[in-house]
Amino acid sequence: MTQDPNAEARIAPTEVGANAAETGDRQLAPEASDAYGTHEVGIENLDFATVAEHGHTAAELDPDAPAVLTVDNLKMYFPVRSSGLVRRTIGHVQAVDGISFEVPKGGSLGLVGESGCGKSTTGRLITRLYKPTGGSMMFGGHDLAKVSNKEMKPLRRDVQMIFQDPYTSLNPRHTVGTIVGAPLEVHNVVPKNKVLPRVQELLEIVGLNPEHYNRYPNEFSGGQRQRIGIARALTLNPKVLVADEPVSALDVSIQAQVVNLLQDIQTEFDVAFLFIAHDLAIVRHFCPEIAVMYLGKIVEIGDRETIYGKPHHPYTQALLSAVPDVKQAAVGGRRERIRLEGDVPSPINPPSGCRFRTRCQFAQEICAKVEPPLLQIGKRHKVACHFAGELGAHPATPVTTELLGVDDQGTPVPGATPTNTQLTIPGYEKTWFDLRTKQTTGV
């Protein structure tokens, strides 16, 4: 494991959880560190952005990395049934509605957005906890969306999930050894007498005492339990890990340690992450590439610098304006908060055209009539907005009309030929639409 060079204080192996279990106290003492070995960051009660600075450096983008997972036009519609004896389907929750993206080999894509926008559903689709309504998820030559449960079994080894809540995701009746070792037995990967050594090795890798394999989850603190969940996800040497809010249930001082552990794991296991989180500071640190979701759609996707520095979608701009930025505040340059009006509409009956339009200050007639395509507007930047532009520089007229063959009100122009062929691919093209010149351009 990589030793954290900036850690200010190394804390002795802690057994806070064990002590608490002995006294029957589930309210654990404050966790200075939850790790047995490495990964401590001796900093407490700071915001994540600051803590992270004292831990690992932010992950870097490898623009040449091939895609390990390619998701194309993925959809998940949950049926809504009437009450009564004959339960007819009366509608659908459009939890995920036609999203496309790539996860690079050994890299990480962050998925952010408000609660209910479809992040967890996306993660559960990729790990095939749900079977999608439509679309494809190409992984190692297989379409995970189409394979049968039987065909999926060997593929599950490669695509694993870390769950949000370390309190409910571990079976309290099983020892850590059983929890971490179970996948090895189910998939028959090592002989029975090799399971325990492998479990102990994994516990050590995630910073837990390998001798604690025969303890139960309630004997560990929250951060330690999440390490158990991480060890379990790593057992089969996956190629893709879906981390669904992996630190949001943890104490702030522990979050950075667990994120740093995930970074170590990514480097050493060369595993790719789909990192789902609503905390934009954590995503900024962990993910060189970020997709922003709103009501089942990706509204903006791009590299970290672009998404955080020059977001072009009004929703991304509003989300980012709500992030407390300690450094900015210190120099008196705190961002003005953009308040979104109203609630997120129901995914059963989403707004026509652009789904964000009911809460968008720039919305015009075209937004209700025509859905904006996820248009590539930079080398690694796509946005779905008719009025895409930097904060304070949104255009007065829609930028998409010529591409879509409509006028400024969204009415089809007779004889116009829409040129939207390149608008929905999962990755990036070598050329893109220049918002200023409204021409295709490239490197």
Residue closer to ligand ATP by CB (options 161, 199) is 161
Residue closer to ligand ATP by CB (options 46, 323) is 323
Among the listed ranges 17-25, 116-124, 181-189, 254-262, the one in contact with ligand ATP (CB under 6 A) is 116-124
Of 55, 107, 110, 116, the one binding ligand ATP (CB under 6 A) is: 116
Residue closer to ligand ATP by CB (options 95, 256) is 95
* Sequence-distant (≥ 6) Cβ neighbours of residue 83 within 8 angstroms: none
Cβ contact 406:399 at 8 Å: no
Query: What does the alpha-carbon distance between residue 199 and residue 440 come to, in Å, rounded to a whole number?
Result: 53
Query: What does the alpha-carbon distance between residue 32 and residue 48 come to, in Å, rounded to a whole number?
Result: 15
Closest CA to 169 of 179, 182, 160, 178: 179
First-residue to last-residue Cα distance in the chain: 39
Of 38, 100, 120, 169, the one binding ligand ATP (CB under 6 A) is: 120
Least distance (Å) between residue 169 CB and ligand ATP: 14
Among the listed ranges 110-118, 200-208, 372-380, 406-414, the one in contact with ligand ATP (CB under 6 A) is 110-118
Residue closer to ligand ATP by CB (options 56, 119) is 119
Q: Is 274 among the residues that bind ligand ATP (CB under 6 A)?
A: no
Q: Is 119 among the residues that bind ligand ATP (CB under 6 A)?
A: yes
Among the listed ranges 109-117, 178-186, 334-342, 386-394, the one in contact with ligand ATP (CB under 6 A) is 109-117
Q: Is 283 among the residues that bind ligand ATP (CB under 6 A)?
A: no
SS3 call for 73: strand
User: Pseudo-torsion of CA 330, 336, 341, 342, nearest 10°?
Assistant: -10
Among the listed ranges 5-13, 119-127, 182-190, 220-228, the one in contact with ligand ATP (CB under 6 A) is 119-127
Q: Is 115 among the residues that bind ligand ATP (CB under 6 A)?
A: yes
Cβ contact 243:273 at 8 Å: yes
Q: Is 78 among the residues that bind ligand ATP (CB under 6 A)?
A: yes
Hey, which residues between 79 and 108 contact ligand ATP (CB under 6 A)? 93, 95
Q: How far is CA 252 from the centre of its chain?
A: 19
Hey, which residues between 335 and 354 contact ligand ATP (CB under 6 A)? 347
Residue closer to ligand ATP by CB (options 27, 89) is 89
Pure H helices in 157-295: 176-186, 192-205, 222-234, 252-269, 280-286
Query: What does the alpha-carbon distance between residue 212 and residue 183 come to, in Å, rounded to a whole number?
Result: 19
Which tokens in the block code for residue 213? Answer: 């394999």
**Strands 272-276, 108-112: parallel, antiparallel or unpaired by DSSP?**
parallel
Of 117, 240, 360, 385, the one binding ligand ATP (CB under 6 A) is: 117
SS3 call for 292: strand
By CB under 6 A, name the binding residues for ligand ATP: 78, 93, 95, 113, 115-121, 278, 347
